[in-house]
């Protein structure tokens, strides 16, 4: 039995040394150390040995089993490490290559325009004011010098929720609320960006929902020259330093005098083309000096304070700035359109 154990040790060590993979080494473990293996059989047969032989054979059997176990564990680690190295070689990754950046959302072109205008006016000392989109008839019309029987309401047919509540037709109510909150004490320098709503038929240049940015300045000794300088600075910063502006008389119930501002056509340089309809100028916004009635209704003394206001459509800026010919593109969420404005920030 002693010779049998030595022979098993020799055979097992040879097989372990020649094992090529983990599967083979596992099979060697089962063959020699399993419940049906030869070493187990020898230990079970020790009852048939003479009493004086049992301790010797038992000790040798345990020694052989421990030797085989140690060699198997050592070989297992070697083969496991070799398998990992082969896998790394087969699935090698060039860590010097740049990673693949995940595509994330980006700012909408209208959002870009709003942020650009906000940054411009914040740099001039203005603050950004906001107000409710569901507005009262008083703030949307009456506080802006547009009484219930005024014909100007016909141009701002809106979505009424009740007889007194409607979706605001302009961001001007924010101006009225701001002046009212100031309780007759200036100065006020605000811009009011936001959504507005009118019951228009949607086409290339009209939408039932659109964005506006309005500005308001109220203080002592505010003049038309202040408005002119502000509008010229705005036009050149947004559309380019080579843009020229012109002011035309107009009418708005909440300003007096009122005006509209045109900028020189970027396409033709003011010579006349299909974009500017041969005039060399493109209408961009409405403005004027705040009407004394508006100042008075919102708590300011028109004998002491004066001011100017202006309003521009965000879509109008974006269409001229980016050469977009249909306002509906801004609201259809067509990714082919939006992808043109993707920027890596």
Tens digits of per-residue pLDDT, 88-122?
778 777 778 787 777 777 889 999 999 999 999 99
Single out the residue of 185, 192, 205 nearest to residue 140, CA to CA. 192
**Res 91: pLDDT:** 76
Q: What are the strands, taking DSSP E only, across 85-238?
A: 127-128, 134-136, 165-167, 188-197, 209-219
Give me the pLDDT at residue 214, please: 96
pLDDT at residue 344, rounded to an integer = 57
Q: What are the residue ranges spanned by the domains of the chain?
A: 2-91, 109-341
Q: Where does the pLDDT of residue 254 fall: very low under 50, low under 70, confident under 90, or very high at 90 and above?
A: very high
Q: Which residue has the higher pLDDT, 139 or 26?
A: 139
Q: What share of the chain is helix, strand, coil (3-state, %, to 5)?
A: 45, 20, 35
Closest to 142 in 3D by CA, of 177, 181, 183: 177
Q: Enter the CATH code of domain 109-341.
A: 3.30.930.10
CA dist 241 and 236 (Å) reads 4
pLDDT value of position 225? 95
CA distances from 107 to 113, 114, 237, 238, 336 (A): 10, 11, 20, 18, 14
**Joined tokens for residue 42:** 């020898």
Q: Cβ distance 105 to 335 under 8 Å?
A: no
44-67 per-position pLDDT tens digit = 777 777 777 777 777 877 788 888
SS3 56: helix
> Is 256 labelled as part of a ligand binding site?
yes
Task: Spell 84-107 as b/e; 16+ CB within 10 A means b.
Answer: eeeeeeeeeeeeeeeeeeeeeeee
| Residue 273 backbone dihedrals phi, psi, to 5 degrees | -155, -175
- For residue 48, the model assigns a pLDDT of 72
Give CA–CA dist 97/90, Å, rounded: 18
Residues 6+ apart with CB under 8 A from 336: none
- Is the pTM higher than 0.85? no
């Amino acid at each position: 039995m002693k010779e049998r154990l030595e022979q098993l040790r020799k055979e097992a060590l040879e097989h372990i040394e020649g094992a090529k993979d983990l599967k083979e080494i596992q099979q060697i473990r089962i063959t020699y150390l399993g419940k049906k293996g030869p070493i187990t059989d020898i230990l079970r047969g020790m009852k048939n040995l003479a009493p004086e032989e049992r301790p010797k054979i038992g000790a040798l059997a345990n020694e052989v089993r421990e030797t085989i176990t140690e060699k198997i564990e050592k070989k297992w680690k070697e083969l496991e490490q070799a398998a990992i190295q082969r896998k790394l070689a087969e699935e090698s990754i060039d860590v010097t290559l740049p990673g693949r950046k995940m595509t994330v959302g980006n700012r909408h072109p209208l959002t870009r325009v709003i942020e650009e205008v906000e940054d411009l006016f914040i740099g001039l000392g203005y603050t950004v004011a906001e107000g409710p989109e569901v507005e009262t008839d008083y703030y949307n019309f009456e506080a802006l010098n547009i009484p219930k029987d005024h014909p100007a309401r016909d141009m701002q047919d809106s979505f009424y929720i009740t007889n007194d509540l409607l979706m605001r037709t302009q961001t001007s109510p924010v101006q009225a609320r701001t002046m009212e909150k100031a309780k007759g004490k200036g100065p006020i320098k605000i811009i009011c960006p936001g959504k507005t709503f009118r019951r228009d038929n949607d086409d290339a240049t009209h939408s039932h929902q659109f964005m506006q940015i309005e500005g308001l300045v109220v203080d002592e000794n505010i003049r038309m020259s202040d408005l002119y300088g502000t509008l010229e600075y705005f036009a050149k910063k947004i559309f380019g330093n080579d843009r020229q502006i012109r002011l035309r008389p107009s009418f708005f119930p909440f300003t007096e005098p009122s005006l509209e501002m045109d900028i020189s056509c970027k396409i033709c340089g003011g010579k006349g083309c299909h974009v500017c309809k041969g005039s060399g100028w493109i209408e961009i916004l409405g403005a004027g000096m705040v009407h004394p009635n508006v100042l008075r209704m919102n708590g300011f003394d028109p004998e002491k304070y004066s001011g100017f206001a202006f309003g521009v459509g965000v879509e109008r800026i974006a269409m001229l700035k980016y050469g977009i010919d249909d306002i509906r593109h801004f609201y259809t969420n067509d990714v082919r359109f939006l992808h043109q404005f993707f920027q890596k920030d």
